[in-house]
Chain A
Amino acid sequence: MKRFLIGALVVLALFAATPLVVHNEYYYFAAYVVLQFVVLATAWNILGGYAGYVNFGSGAFFAVGAYIAVALYKAYALPLGLQILAGATASGLLGFGVGLLTLRLRGIFFSIATIAVAIVLETVVVNWTYVGGAKGLPTLRPAQAPFFESYTVWLFFVMAVLAVVAVSAARYVETSWIGRGLRAIRDNEGAAECSGVPTLKLKLGAATLSGALMGAAGAPYAQYLSFIEPTSTFSLNYAVNALAMPIIGGMAHWSGPVIGALLLGTVQQVVTVTISSEVNVLVVGVLLVVFVVAAPEGILGLFRRFFPRKR
Chain B
Amino acid sequence: MNSLLAVQSLSKRFGGFTALDGVSIDIRKGERFGLIGPNGSGKTTLINCVSGALANDGGRIVFDGEEISRLPAYQRTRRGIARSFQITRPFASMSVLENLVVPLEYVVHRGSLHTADTRGEAMEILRGMGLADKADTRSNQLSQVELRKLELARAMAARPQLLISDEAMAGLSSNEVTEVLEILFKLNARGITIIMIEHIMQAVMRFSQRVVCLDAGRIICEGTPEETVANGDVQRAYLGA
Q: Which residues of A line the B interface, CB within 8 A?
A: 177, 180-181, 183-184, 186-188, 190-200, 252
Chain B residues lying within 8 Å of A200, measured Cβ to Cβ, are 72
Contact-size category for B: 20 to 34
Enumerate chain B residues within 8 angstroms of A190, measured Cβ to Cβ.
Answer: 53, 73, 85, 89
Taking a contact as CB atoms under 8 Å apart, the answer to whether B91 and A183 are in contact is: yes
Contacts of A187 in B (CB 8 A): 90-94
Extra pairs beyond A183-B94, A192-B102 (10, CB < 8 Å)? A177-B105, A177-B106, A187-B91, A190-B53, A190-B85, A191-B90, A194-B82, A195-B74, A195-B77, A252-B93
Tell me which of A186, A188, A197, A252 contacts B106 (CB under 8 A): A197
Instruction: Name, among A181, A188, A191, the residue most crowded by chain B CB atoms within 10 Å (CB to CB).
Output: A191
| A177-B105, A181-B106, A194-B53 known; A186 vs B74 contact (CB < 8 Å) | no
Q: Is B107 an interface residue (CB 8 A)?
A: yes
What is the count of residue pairs linking A and B with beta-carbon distances less than 8 angstroms?
A: 81
> Which residues of A lie under 8 Å from residue B106 when comparing CB positions?
177, 181, 195-198
Residues on the B chain within 8 Å of A183, using CB: 91, 93-94
Task: Among B72, B92, B102, point to the contact of A195 (Cβ < 8 A).
Answer: B102
* Alpha-carbon separation in the docked complex, A177 to B103 (Å): 10
Contact B90 A194 (CB under 8 A): no
Interface of A is mostly: helix
| B91 and A193 contact, CB distance less than 8 A | no
Q: A183-B91, A183-B94, A187-B92 are in contact. Are A194 and B102 (CB under 8 A)?
A: no
In the bound complex, residues from chain B placing their C-beta under 8 Å from that of A195 are 74, 77, 102-103, 106-107, 154, 157-158
CA distance A289 to B56 in the complex (A): 45
CB distance from A297 to the nearest CB of B (A): 10
Q: Smallest CB–CB gap between B106 and chain A, Å?
A: 4
Please name all residues of chain A whose beta carbon is closer than 8 Å to the beta carbon of B89 when the two chains form the complex. 188, 190-191
Q: Of A181, A187, A194, A252, which is in contact with the most chain B CB atoms at under 10 Å from its CB?
A: A194
Chain A residue with Cβ nearest B113: A177
Complex-state Cα separation, A249 to B154, whole angstroms: 32
B102 and A193 within 8 A (CB): no
Residues of chain B whose beta carbon lies under 8 Å from any beta carbon of chain A: 51-53, 72-74, 77-78, 82-83, 85, 89-94, 98, 101-103, 105-107, 110, 113, 154-155, 157-158
Rounded to whole angstroms, the CA-CA distance of A163 and B77 in the bound complex is 38
CB distance from B107 to the nearest CB of A (A): 4
Contact pick for B158, options A180, A186, A196, CB 8 Å = A196
CB atoms of A199 and B93 under 8 A apart: no
Looking across the interface, which residue of chain A has its beta carbon closest to that of B53?
A190
Q: Which 7 A-B pairs have the closest CB atoms?
A: A196-B107, A196-B106, A191-B89, A187-B91, A195-B103, A193-B73, A188-B89
Residue on B nearest A185 in the bound complex, by CB: B91
Nearest neighbor of A52 in chain B, beta-carbon distance: B93
Closest Cβ of chain B: how far from A25's Cβ, in Å?
A: 44
Complex Cα distance A41/B157, Å?
35
> Which residues of the partner chain A approach B74 to less than 8 Å between Cβ atoms?
193-199
A177 to B107, CA, bound (A): 12
Question: Which residue of chain A has the shortest Cβ distance to B139 in the bound complex?
Answer: A187
Q: Could you say which residues of chain B place their CB within 8 Å of the CB of A196? A: 74, 77-78, 102-103, 106-107, 110, 158
A181 to B103, CA, bound (A): 9
In the bound complex, CA of A198 to CA of B158 (Å): 14
Distance in Å: Cβ of B201 to nearest Cβ of chain A:
27
Which residues of chain A are near B77, meaning CB under 8 Å? 193-196
A195 CA / B91 CA spacing, docked (Å): 11
Chain B residue nearest in CB terms to A187: B91
Chain A residue contacts of B94, Cβ below 8 A? 180, 183-184, 187
Given A177-B105, A196-B158, decide whether A191 and B52 contact each other with a Cβ distance below 8 A: no
Contact between chains at A191 and B91 (CB < 8 Å): yes
Report yes or no: A180 in contact with B82, Cβ–Cβ below 8 A.
no
CB-CB under 8 A for A193 and B158, given A181-B102, A187-B91 = no
A191 CB → nearest B CB, Å: 4
Q: Report 5 cross-chain contacts, Cβ distance below 8 Å, ordered by A residue.
A: A177-B105, A181-B106, A183-B93, A186-B93, A196-B158
Chain B residues with CB below 8 A from A177, complex form: 105-106, 113
Docked complex Cα distance between A32 and B83 (Å): 51
Q: Give complex CA distance A184, B100 in Å.
A: 11
Bound Cα distance from A188 to B92, whole angstroms: 8
Determine the residue in chain A with the shortest Cβ distance to B107. Answer: A196
